[in-house]
Amino acid sequence: MNKTGSHAGALRKGRVSETGRIYLITCVTWKRKEIFSQWACGRLLATVLINEHRRAETLAYVVMPDHLHWLIQLSNDTSLDRLMRTVKGVSSHRINRELNRTGRLWQPGYHDHALRREEDLVAMARYMVANPLRAGLVKHIGDYPLWDAAWL
């Protein structure tokens, strides 16, 4: 753990970005503030994710009140770090403007999991987008507005 009490530095050790690899990325809001409980803020984040199609193909995502799960296939000429710096920076700017606020939106760092070939991609996407059900936010996934998946 570093001086700020964050494990973000430890998350970066050994991280490698591979073009064409599929990653499950999770990132958390600053102090777990439930920014995305406000539907408009969640939609702004979803738009940023979808607009990154040059750097990563979005396979699935779910925006939870205080965090994001994003399943992507990394495109050419980019890295996870560059992609996440862009997503966090652009979303912070737009959401802070929407809320007429300043300051941090995201905690430093993010967690990534490179999927192995034997992992079932569709099952991973289904599990991920079912987070609102498991969290008790909705009774039916169709009632939750902040998710999408290429196969569902």
Residue 112 forms part of a structural domain: yes
Tell me which residue range forms the domain holding 93: 8-140
Residue 149 forms part of a structural domain: no
Residue 2 forms part of a structural domain: no
For 6-48, write each residue's pLDDT tens digit.
Answer: 554 444 555 678 888 999 999 999 999 999 999 999 999 999 9
pTM: 0.87
Average pLDDT over residues 108-123: 87
Residue 61 forms part of a structural domain: yes
Residue 1 forms part of a structural domain: no
Helices (H), the chain: 8-12, 39-50, 80-99, 121-129, 131-134
Could you tell me how many residues make up the chain?
152
For 95-114, write each residue's pLDDT tens digit.
Answer: 999 999 999 999 999 999 99
Residue 55 forms part of a structural domain: yes
Q: Give Cα 30 to chain centroid, integer Å.
A: 14
Helix axes 80-99, 39-50, angle to 10 degrees: 150
CATH of the domain at 49: 3.30.70.1290
Is there a contact between 54 and 7 (Cβ–Cβ < 8 Å)? no
Is there a contact between 129 and 60 (Cβ–Cβ < 8 Å)? yes
Given a cut of 70, whether residue 62 has pLDDT beyond it is yes
The DSSP symbol for 35 reads G
Residue 148 forms part of a structural domain: no
- Output the average pLDDT for the chain: 89
Number of domains in the chain: 1
Which pLDDT does position 3 carry in this prediction?
45
Residue 146 forms part of a structural domain: no
Q: Which residue has the higher pLDDT, 71 or 78?
A: 71
Which pLDDT does position 14 carry in this prediction?
57
